[in-house]
Structure formats: C-alpha cells, structure tokens
Structure 1
C-alpha cells in the first residue's frame, strides 16, 4: 500500500494525517469526526492496524464508495494493496493458522459473485415477511426479560447497589435469544456465545486464541448434529441449501456463516438498544415523552436513533481496485479506504440540524435515510430484524417503565476506536 503523503492530493492537501487511535478521537468521536469531515471530504489517516488509509466522511461520498464495484472488501489480486492485513493482526495475537480463515472468510469478506452466492443462500431467512412473522416471538422474549427485572416496589430507593444493569439483563439477552433461536443455537450453549463474544471484542492475546478455537469446534459439532438430526432452523437449512447450480456450502462456509450470523445478529443490536435507551432516558427525555404519547412513532424513531446513536461508527476497510476520484481527491489503485459512518450520519449536507435527535424525522426518498446499516451490496443482511428488535425492545421497555432513569454518575464507554458501546447501563426502574 502507498505510504501516507505529506500533502495528499485534492481537497485533502495540507491536512495533517489523522490517527484513528488518538485518545481524544476515541473519547469523543462525534465532535472529532465532525471536525475531520468539515476540514475536507477525504482525509489521510493511520488506520487501526497501523496502515495508511483514506477516510471518507461525507454522506454522498460514503454511499458512492460503498456501492462502487471498483471498491472491494477483499484486496486479493489488487496491485499495491496490503494483503491479508486482518490475518496479520490475528497472527500477532497468537491465533492458530487453522482458525484464521473462519474469522477472515465470512460473507462480508467477499465481493462479486462469491458474495452474491453466499448471500442468496441465507437471505431468505431475513426477508421482511419472514421477520414480520417473528414479531410475536420477539415480543414474547422481551416481555419475559422485563418480567425478570427486579420489582422497583420491593427496593429501597436509597439502595443504589441494587440498580439494574439494563445491558446485562435486557438489551443483550433480547437479540442474542432471538438470533440463536432463528439460527438454531441451543439455549444451553448461549452463555458460551456471550463469553466468546466478549473475549473476541477484547482482542486480549492471552484469551482470544483459545476462545476462537473453542467456538469454531463448537460450531462444527453443532453442524454435525443438525446434519444428523435436522430442525426447523436456519442452520439446518444451510446444511442442505443449494444454489441454482446445485452447489452446496462447505462445512467451513457453514461454520463461518454461523459465526457471522450469531455475532452480527446480536452484538450491534444489543448496543443499539443500550445506546438508544441511554439517550432517551437522559438528554433526549422530551423525545421519549413524545413517543410515550404516540407509540406509532417508534418505527421512525429507531431509524433516527440508528443515525444518531449507532454502535458501529466506521465501516470495514475497502480497497481501490483502480485509480478513483472521491470528493475531488485521487485515490490510487491499491489504497485502503475507510467509510466513516458516524461522520456521514451527521453530515449537514444531508440533514437539517444533523446533530439533533428528532424521532419524527422521516428519511428523504427511499431507504433508511442513513448509512448505519451500510449501503450497497454489503448492506446489513439483518437490518429488518435489527429494526424490529429495536422498535419492540425500546417500546416495551419504556411502556413498562416510563419513569426509568439512568443510575450512573456518568456513562462508561468502551475505549475502542470505531465503536460506541457502553460497558454497563445501570438504571432505576421507577
């Protein structure tokens, strides 16, 4: 990959190289990326892996990059591109070679025909109709979790030690239960997924390799069980799925798909719920009161909350398959490109008063009106399910506990670049 230039071309000329791991940027990504976006549409930066990258920050440009077939997620075969950067990172923390392919070869790591083939084999489980059929079960799971929360009438209001952690007891269990039921992960195995997920996110070299090895072995075992005894779930369907040419998924592809679906299907939704609940019970309380008065607004509200409080703030790195012009800047073939979702979703060129949460804001034109779920061929496969879980989970929480309040002194955000995740969400229910 080309080294970062002292004075990059076009609108980026003269701009200092951005360090994406800068503690100030990690601590306040909203203000930081707003400033970067307004300094120029494309900026040179040092990515999370230490390699140079172009940051694309304005919404029109982000959409263009994510939809352009000349911009790929897989650098293989692109002259000048850094090859297998994520695999190198995994090797640095001691990941066994035979595990790396499962973590770098998912549906989101493929382009073109390979990506289309994999997506077709699983997408029918996430159609709007199929997701709509799941709504009664999502509501049932949410009601059961709310029933398990401690009764505020039985607590002393002065006993802060008994505050409920909403992340641990509600916003995390809801989506992981839904996706595990859909995919076919037995209830007894679900605590392991929580443990594995937390370990992988931590990138702790002392724990990640063992957790990944254990998780992959578990998925192979589960696949073998479904092949011997099929159930009415997505994993069983993947085991027997064929495309129009009669091709089947290999066991490695099935396990990789399983890992992707379970993690992608609960981690981001859990934190969308937590981030949204925190915003609505603190700085955006008037918006919550509006929704309590008119519950029909929740569907629109979830889209706006995804725009303003989404947990994924940067999209995965992509690579220019040929020389490109983005925002008036020349991106050479092989260079890495990082779409910055948090900057695009607060772009004043796309929104009036973009920093303000407005639960009545309707998207202009077709689509989401934001890029929180991505854009183009890699648009989030489970977006319809995530929207439904967000609407059901938030509506039922605040209808049950309209006086719920944040019980912490200050929010504690996970200090990792590119994501916005609370470490806990202590609340008083009433």
Structure 2
C-alpha cells in the first residue's frame, strides 16, 4: 500500500525480486503475508496443490482468513462478503472443479472463435462513434476500451442491454476499494442478479445465466443459489474490467513505442503474438488471490509454515530476467519458450483465467482495428501526465485522452 510501490509497481516489486525471492510483508488489511516474486516460484505457488485458495482447506484450520478481515475493513457485511470472498476464484477442488466445469464450455477456444465476428462488429460500431468525435481529444477508456468487453461478456452471460451502464458504475465502485461506496454497490449488484435470475427463470434465453438456472433447478446439489449469484458477479466483472485495461495499457505502450507499432503496421500477422507480449509487459493484473500453505513448504530458501498466507506477484514474475532476456524491453516478436503463454499475466494452474482466449481475441481485434482505422492516433497528453489509478495489485488508467 506504500505510495512508492503503487506509483511504480514494476520497479518496486522488481527490487523485491532481486533482493529476496520470498519476503515477509503485509497484506492490504495489515496481516502478514509472504510475497513471492520470481517466475519459477510464482508458477509453483499458482500450480502446486500444497498451496490452496481457501484457508478452510488447510488441515486443522490453521490459517487465518485474511479475506474476511479485508471485507470487514472495507465495510462489507457478512451476508454480502461471501459473494466476493467465496466464489469460484476462492475455492479448491472438488468445489472449484465442479463450478469451473459448469461455465468452461462458454469459453472454449471454438466458442470464442465463433464469437469473433460479433466482437469485430461491436468494435467497428464503437470506432464509428470515435470517428464522429474526431479529431478529439476523447477518453479511449470510456468510449472504447470499456464498452467493447462489457458488451461481449454481458451478451454471453445474459445481462440485458438496458442494465449494462449501471454495471460500469458498480465495477468502478468495487475496484475503488472505497468503504464509503463499495458495500452499497455490492448490495445493488447482488439484488440485481437475484432479480435477473427471476426474470430469466420466467423467460429463459440462450445465454449462460439461463443455463446455470436450468442446472440449479434440475440439480441443486451441483449449484447453489449463492454460487450462481457469485458466478455471474465474477464472470461479468472479470470479463470486462481486465480486458478494458489491457486495451488501454496496450494502446499507451504502442503509442510510446513507435518502432513496435511500425512493425505491426507493416506485418499484421504479428498481432496475436503482440497481444501476448503486451499482456506480459503491461497487463493490468499484478497480484492474484492469496494462497495459503496447506503444509510446511520450502520455497525460495525460506520455510512457509502451514496456514501462512502467500501472495504471488505476477508483475515481478513477468519481468524476471531469469526467464526473459532483456525483460524491460517491449518486443512484439518475442515468443513463448514452450510453456503456454510464456507469462503469468493470466495466471497459471487450476485457476488459470477462464476467459483468457476471449481476452486475447478482444485485445487483438480492438487494437488492430483501432490502429488501422486511425493512422494518426496519438496521445492527447504527455505520457508522464497520464493518470494511473492508485489501486493495489493493478495497473489501470483513470482515463486515456487521445486524438484520432
């Protein structure tokens, strides 16, 4: 939470990585946590079953639920905190396996590929609106980076078009971590989802929510009411917040690296690989959900005791010189070294991002079309004047003024 670390997470976590691979620190609510910063160690924490997401999974209940204390600090009442702290991201097998199976078919590579024409159509319409506002300046976050992914995920899940603008406001409130507005926003979201479930139950359609309702009604043991609400909440928020800021961050990266942008203009076949490198270099998610050691574990030269909390730091892992030659350099021709994405921007292991394929596709379509449509696209302010939100664990622009 230090201002220096929030202002420069790349440098700050990079110093931790080089001084000690595993270091004791404090979580946001003040509790003790081990920060794990090097690439190989981060992958271990994310994939090794000795590290669990739910503190209740630690034998003997030796772990303190740091999430519960954070919810209390944020003013979230107990009856609401379960929707944020007990969802699919916070569960372990077999519950995690059961919940993930219920929604994974929506995000298969084939299903995502079938969505591409729809993503392209939404992108084209948004760019038409941008063209009408030319020459600007316009806020690319508000007019383009957010509307695209929230439209796509809401169509997939089943959020009616008329309800989508308010999700943008609720999302802002949740990621602000402001106790004055977060609890009310969360309550409104939960109430809205319950209302939507009632509407979809009365008039089902071909969307994910209708499918979840059928599963719930036919076999309540597979999906509880609370789990259904939490799944919708998680999917909609995760399905647009991170992608929106990937698009925003990547736009800044390309506009401030004209050599890389020039490569893409000359060879559009580079776009898929470029998006992968951009996710490594300026991905919006720097920290993931806490893990807890289920048993004593030796990692990075220290012993992490059973029940102790562990924070895997994605941003330092993605810049680890042990894994990446010249990691500070943005290189859109960089290719993975044979291990999946070649970065941990989407996580790793059982909790690898469900929507990674969709996020990559949306990022590729959005950025490619934006650059092609507006060859004179430029930042409307000096890069040093861009307003980055002071949110722990994330890299997000408050706004992105550009001229088109």
Q: Name the structure 2 match of 1:336.
A: 309
Q: Which of 283, 286, 295 pairs up with 2:259?
A: 286
Deviation (angstroms), 1:242: 7.0
| Preserved CA contact (<8 Å) 1:310 1:420 | yes
Q: Name the structure 2 match of 1:212.
A: 186
Describe the SS at the equivalent of 1:76: helix
Deviation (angstroms), 1:81: 4.5
| Preserved CA contact (<8 Å) 1:59 1:344 | yes
CA RMSD of aligned residues (A): 1.7
Q: Name the structure 2 match of 1:226.
A: 200
Q: What does 1:105-144 correspond to in 2, within 5 Å?
A: 105-144=86-125
Structure that is richer in helix per residue:
2
Q: Which of 70, 73, 90 pairs up with 2:71?
A: 90
| Preserved CA contact (<8 Å) 1:99 1:212 | yes
> Which stretches in structure 1 are left out of the alignment for 5+ residues?
1-20, 156-161
| Preserved CA contact (<8 Å) 1:80 1:333 | no
4+ runs of 1 displaced by more than 4 Å? 79-82, 242-246
Please state if 1:389 is matched with 2:370.
no
| Preserved CA contact (<8 Å) 1:95 1:209 | yes
1:99 and 1:107 map into 2 onto residues whose CA distance is 15
Q: Name the structure 1 match of 2:43.
A: 63
| Preserved CA contact (<8 Å) 1:121 1:242 | no
Residues 38-87 of structure 1 show CA distances to partners (whole Å, capped at 9, x for unaligned) of 11211111111211111111111111111111101110153574433222
Deviation (angstroms), 1:351: 0.8
Q: Name the structure 2 match of 1:74.
A: 54
Q: What does 1:166-185 correspond to in 2, within 5 Å?
A: 166-185=140-159
Residues 277-302 of structure 1 show CA distances to partners (whole Å, capped at 9, x for unaligned) of 011012x1210111011111110000
Q: Name the structure 2 match of 1:103.
A: 84
Structure with greater Cα Rg: 1
Please state if 1:371 is matched with 2:352.
no
Deviation (angstroms), 1:250: 1.8
Q: Name the structure 2 match of 1:33.
A: 13
Q: Name the structure 1 match of 2:27.
A: 47
Residues 311-362 of structure 1 show CA distances to partners (whole Å, capped at 9, x for unaligned) of 0111211100100011221111111111110000001111111111110111
Please state if 1:423 is matched with 2:398.
yes
| Residues 427 and 61 (structure 1), Cα distance of their counterparts in 2 relative to 1, 3 Å cut | same
Deviation (angstroms), 1:374: 0.2
Q: What is the aligned residue count? A: 401
| Residues 246 and 100 (structure 1), Cα distance of their counterparts in 2 relative to 1, 3 Å cut | closer
2:124 and 2:329 map into 1 onto residues whose CA distance is 31
> Which stretches in structure 2 are left out of the alignment for 5+ residues?
none
Q: Name the structure 1 match of 2:223.
A: 249
| Preserved CA contact (<8 Å) 1:80 1:335 | no
| Residues 144 and 316 (structure 1), Cα distance of their counterparts in 2 relative to 1, 3 Å cut | same
1:391 and 1:302 map into 2 onto residues whose CA distance is 6
2:55 and 2:209 map into 1 onto residues whose CA distance is 29
Deviation (angstroms), 1:205: 2.0
| Preserved CA contact (<8 Å) 2:250 2:278 | yes
| Preserved CA contact (<8 Å) 1:57 1:339 | yes
Deviation (angstroms), 1:90: 2.0
TM-score (norm 2): 0.96
2:194 and 2:98 map into 1 onto residues whose CA distance is 21
